[in-house]
Chain A
């Protein structure tokens, strides 16, 4: 048995390979602890309490998108659709099994699993045409996919009662005898019970991190990065580029679907309009501001950007103007050479000190 030593643990946690991992898990656990303390001491405002689960959902879907955009190097504008599929499947399943499965935890797991799996299947199907393309053509196909999903969801009527499940497309041609509408066209899904809570959401985030890091550090992860950096060189040394990218895309869509299901379970209503092009763009903004391929950055950027519009509410009419300006300024500052250099040298001071200590 290996002798346990703090020093070894420390050097394991903070070596080059694992530091990102440690930081990411650290941030999430720290966030959880701080929030729990605030909740327990009744110091968390109503507003922030209502933002906890959604923030976690967006963190998960941003991490998922970062796999595709950051690691695989493909611009996807369709992740809102995966989230939407996961959300509607998750909500429909949780409503359907409401009376069958009395255990809440089990119901949540079933709903999230169902959302993830169905979203993953769609992810696989769309990855076939998508990954044959590149660059902006790939982006437009994912955007098209998003529009198609939205357009179809707007026309689905699904409900169940004692006589079974009823489904119709475009026009609702059934009436329910008691029972419940699962998907009601553009109205979506209403009158649901909230199941998600912050602990479930944090467990999902940790699980997502676990999957993402395992994928990145695996054989496939290296293949994906190699094919991102140079597709032709990668395929010339025998890497199956398409296979690696497909894996990445499908894992990403599964995670996004799970995030969607978690999102759906956190609200009493669900509408199709949410899962549009603008949501895809929002998620992309989280990823780019967090840094492509930067996992801890994505977590922090998503948290800040989800909270930002709420924190700017005191500006009333100028809120969205301020939000737009902040977005532009962050992009300009983070790409400004002078500021970058001075920031790096500032951090360099910390770094040197740290080396001295060690």
Chain B
């Protein structure tokens, strides 16, 4: 009998607790929404766990933008950024939390896998979302993503899609004759790296680029000596790295140790490599990357953003932060232009925002952006080369 009692008591307590907390919360929030005239922006990303630095970059930069906008007077925003650890399941519960909070606009998710999961939910609930860094085409396209015209319509991207990056990289390498023999090292347990790789290979074949070695690794790997040795043996003079900068740091370091000095060519995931505490920028000398954002750009907007971010959070913002900062400002422009107010329902806001975003030409810290109806951004990818610890124009 004792088990029966204890367990029943526990179960009852639990249910009363959850039931009360949930209904209590939603009531409170409804009141709040009426009192404070601020538009509620939700969003999720990994702020703890393996990918925490990406989620935190987005969270910090979005908060910075919200604070700046609120300080201007006029339109007011309030940001609620939930942790999803980059896990689709947690992104879905984070979405639930945000729905219960009364989210009206959203930064969707930071990572692609999580974003693909919540996109149908944003469509179902008619909430306008723009992801700063979820680069997989499936965030905005339905089904397998093969049909460019089958899209959600209320979900937009601030970053390039993965296939675009793959194609643009191959084009750039071919146009500038950067390498005659190309090796590729990519991470085959994340969709980002694999989908950039796939499109790069396709385009490389079209352009007649000579790919001599393909190696992969998984997130937990730290040792790249095999891949680098094999690339060196195959005579590669350019190594394409469609990966995040954490692993790129290991690769550059190990290539340096073994005196292998090809041209390394990265995509936007490589951005942030110079911002790491204690990074010896000499090992990244001559690294090319395609990125929409350069923390060392002389542009006054960029300089303002970088110095504010540094003084608030103590580190140099990377591409994730820049994209998130731009998303909030792009939303701000649409809200102003569409006369959107906090007392409108999320559905009405969504319709008005979609109208505005399609006619918007936005200039932010990641350059000039326009959006297509299928949610993808049109931006000019910028190739930079690292020289003396700063991004410089290759020409």
Q: Interface of A with B (CB < 8 Å)? A: 14, 19-20, 22-23, 26-27, 30-31, 34, 38, 43-51, 54, 151, 154-155, 172, 176, 180-181, 184-188, 190-191, 267-269, 271-274, 296-297, 300, 303-304, 307, 309-311, 313, 316-317, 319-320, 344, 347-348, 350-351, 354
CB-based closest 3 A-B pairs: A47-B96, A45-B22, A46-B99
Q: Interface size for chain B: under 10, 10 to 19, 20 to 34, or 35 or more residues? A: 35 or more
CB 8 Å contact bits of B303-316 with A (1 = contact, 0 = none): 00000000000000
User: What are 26 sample pairs from A and B whose C-beta atoms fall under 8 A apart?
Assistant: A19-B4, A23-B7, A27-B7, A43-B22, A45-B22, A45-B96, A47-B97, A47-B99, A48-B18, A50-B93, A154-B188, A180-B144, A184-B144, A186-B190, A191-B142, A267-B117, A271-B88, A273-B189, A274-B87, A300-B10, A307-B18, A310-B93, A311-B18, A317-B47, A350-B2, A351-B1
**Contacting pair A49 B96 (CB below 8 A):** yes
- A184 / chain B contacts, CB cutoff of 8 Å: 144
- B291 / chain A contacts, CB cutoff of 8 Å: none
- A51 / chain B contacts, CB cutoff of 8 Å: 93, 96
Q: Given that A19-B4, A46-B99, A350-B2 are contacting pairs, would A176 and B117 also be in contact in the complex, using a CB cutoff of 8 Å?
A: no
Q: Given that A187-B191, A191-B142, A313-B97 are contacting pairs, would A267 and B4 also be in contact in the complex, using a CB cutoff of 8 Å?
A: no
- B88 / chain A contacts, CB cutoff of 8 Å: 267, 269, 271, 274
- A22 / chain B contacts, CB cutoff of 8 Å: 4
- B93 / chain A contacts, CB cutoff of 8 Å: 47, 50-51, 310
Q: A34, A191, A274, A351 — which one has the most chain B CB atoms within 10 A of its CB?
A: A191
**Contacting pair B11 A27 (CB below 8 A):** yes
Selected contact of A44 from candidates B4, B22, B25, B120, CB within 8 Å: B22
Known pairs A188-B113, A348-B2; list 11 more (Cβ under 8 Å): A14-B4, A38-B19, A47-B96, A50-B93, A187-B194, A191-B138, A267-B92, A311-B17, A311-B18, A311-B21, A350-B1
What is the distance, in angstroms, from A81's C-beta to the closest C-beta of chain B? 15
Indicate whether B195 reaches chain A with its CB closer than 8 angstroms: yes
Indicate whether B333 reaches chain A with its CB closer than 8 angstroms: no
**Contacting pair B113 A269 (CB below 8 A):** yes
**Contacting pair A50 B92 (CB below 8 A):** yes
- B117 / chain A contacts, CB cutoff of 8 Å: 267-269
Selected contact of A47 from candidates B4, B100, B116, B146, CB within 8 Å: B100
A19–B18 Cα distance when bound, in Å, is: 27
Indicate whether B104 reaches chain A with its CB closer than 8 angstroms: no
Q: Given that A350-B5, A351-B2, A354-B1 are contacting pairs, would A185 and B11 also be in contact in the complex, using a CB cutoff of 8 Å?
A: no
- A309 / chain B contacts, CB cutoff of 8 Å: 90
CB-CB nearest in chain B for A38: B19
A354–B5 Cα distance when bound, in Å, is: 11
A200–B369 Cα distance when bound, in Å, is: 46
**Contacting pair A191 B144 (CB below 8 A):** yes
Indicate whether B395 reaches chain A with its CB closer than 8 angstroms: no
A176–B143 Cα distance when bound, in Å, is: 13
- B7 / chain A contacts, CB cutoff of 8 Å: 23, 27, 296-297, 300
Selected contact of B113 from candidates A49, A273, A344, A354, CB within 8 Å: A273
What is the distance, in angstroms, from A173's C-beta to the closest C-beta of chain B? 11
